[in-house]
Structures are given as C-alpha cells and as structure tokens.
Amino acid sequence: MKATCIECYFEFEVDDDVMLGEIIECPDCGTELEVIEINDKEGEVVLQKAESEEEDWGE
C-alpha cells in the first residue's frame, strides 16, 4: 500500500494489513500520522496528522 506524508509529502509503502486508526510514523520527517482511509482498489491509504496528547490522556 502506498502512503504520502501530509507534512513533508514523502511517499512510502505501508503493510497491506494496515488498519483504520493505526498510527504510522513518516520514515522521512518523523511526523505521527493516523490512517483515516484505506483504498484497496487504488492500493493507497489516506493519512492525517495524529491527534496530539491532551491533558486527560493516560493509561
């Protein structure tokens, strides 16, 4: 599957079993990206910048 970083526009490959909501780090600029759409037909995934940590995040 092909992906493009929305920050630096670097194009890279991701695993075919990638899932919606999965967090991927751009191999070029290191931005954390979230998978928001998987387009099997085109062999592409759509990414957006991952949500940043909020005050109430934790585990």
Partner 1 sequence: MICNKLSWEEKSILDAAKRKNVKVNIILNRTYFVNLEEDNVSTDIILQRSLSYVRGLYTTAILENFGHHVINSYRTSEICGNKLLTTLTLLKEGIPTPKTYCAFTKESALKALDELGYPAVIKPIIGSWGRLIALLKDQDVAKAILEDRETMGNIFQKVYYLQEYIVKRARDMKEYLRRDKAPRDMRVFVIGDEVVAAMNRHEMEGDWRSSATRGARSVSCDITPEMEELALKAAKAVNGEILGIDLIEDEELMVQEINHVSGFHALANSTGRDIGGRIVDYIITQIKG
Give the footprint of partner 1 on this chain (CB under 8 A). 19-23, 34, 50-51, 54-59
The distance of closest approach from Cβ of residue 2 to partner 1 in the complex, given in angstroms and rounded to an integer, is 20
The minimum distance between CB 41 and partner 1, in angstroms, equals 22
Beta carbons of 35 and 25 less than 8 angstroms apart: no
* Nearest distance in Å: CB 59, partner 1: 4
8 contact partners, CB below 8 Å, separation of at least 6: 26, 28, 29, 31
